[in-house]
Chains A and B, each alone.
Chain A
Amino acid sequence: MNSCFTYFKKNKKKTSIMFAIIILAVFSISFIYSLILSVYDTSKSANVAPFDKFSILISENDTVFDDDTQKIIDSDSSVRAFTTVTDIKTIFGTTSSYVIFPAEYDDINILVNRLGIKVSEGRMPDKNTDEIIMHTNVMKNKKKKIGDKISDYTIVGAFEGDIELSLGTMESAKLKEYSSSVSTYIISPSSRDELSSINSTLSKINDKKIELHTYDKQLKSLNDEFSSIKSVLFIIVLLVAVCIVIAVAALVFIMYSGRYEEFAIINALGYNKSFIKTLIFKEMLFAASISWFLGVTISWLSSVLVNKFIYSAMGQSMKIFNVNSLLISIVLPVMVIFFSVYPTNHKLSKTDLISIIERR
Chain B
Amino acid sequence: MNISVKNLCLSYKDGLKERVILENTNVDIPEGSCNIIVGPSGCGKSSFLYVLSTLRNYNGGKILYDDVELNSGKLKTQMRYKNFGFIFQQHYLIPYLTVEENIRMSQNKKEKISKRSIDEILEKLNIAHLANSMPYKLSGGEKQRVAIARALIKKPEVIFADEPTASLDKDTAIDIYNMLRKVNEKSTLIMATHDTSILIGDERKMVFDNKHILADM
Contact = CB atoms under 8 A, between A and B. Distances in A.
A270 B107 contact: no
A68 interface: no
For B56, B82, B94, B109, the residue with the greatest tally of chain A CB atoms inside 10 Å of its CB is B94
A261 interface: yes
A269 B88 contact: no
B97 A272 contact: no
Given A10-B96, A262-B94, A358-B50, A268 B73 contact: no
A262 B82 CA distance: 19
A239 interface: no
For B77, B79, B82, the residue with the greatest tally of chain A CB atoms inside 10 Å of its CB is B77
A222 interface: no
Nearest to A275: B77
Interface residues of A, number: 20
A269 B87 CA distance: 10
Contacts of A262: 94
A271 B106 CA distance: 9
Given A1-B109, A357-B88, A269 B80 contact: yes
B61 to A, nearest CB: 20
Contact of B73 (A266, A272, A359): A272
Given A270-B78, A354-B50, A1 B55 contact: no
A264 B105 CA distance: 13
Interface string A1-27: 110001100110000000000000000
B96 A266 contact: no
B136 interface: no
A340 B209 CA distance: 46
A270 to B, nearest CB: 3
Give the size range of B's interface with the partner.
20 to 34
Interface string B45-57: 0100010000110
B92 A270 contact: no
A265 B102 CA distance: 11
Contacts of B101: 2, 6
B77 A271 contact: yes
Contacts of A1: 104-105, 107-109
Given A262-B94, A269-B80, A354 B56 contact: yes
Contacts of A266: 105
Contacts of A6: 97, 101
Nearest to B107: A1
A354 B81 contact: no
For A2, A7, A270, A272, the residue with the greatest tally of chain B CB atoms inside 10 Å of its CB is A270
Interface in B32-84: 46, 50, 55-56, 73-74, 77-82, 84
Contacts of B81: 269-271
30 contacts: A1-B104, A1-B105, A1-B108, A1-B109, A2-B97, A2-B105, A6-B101, A7-B96, A11-B96, A262-B94, A265-B92, A265-B105, A266-B105, A268-B55, A268-B80, A269-B81, A269-B105, A270-B79, A270-B80, A271-B77, A271-B81, A272-B77, A354-B50, A354-B55, A357-B88, A357-B90, A357-B92, A358-B50, A359-B89, A359-B90
Interface of A: 1-2, 6-7, 10-11, 261-262, 264-266, 268-272, 354, 357-359
Interface of B: 46, 50, 55-56, 73-74, 77-82, 84, 86, 88-90, 92, 94, 96-97, 101, 104-109
Given A1-B107, A272-B77, 9 more contacts: A10-B96, A10-B97, A265-B94, A266-B105, A268-B86, A269-B81, A269-B105, A270-B78, A357-B88
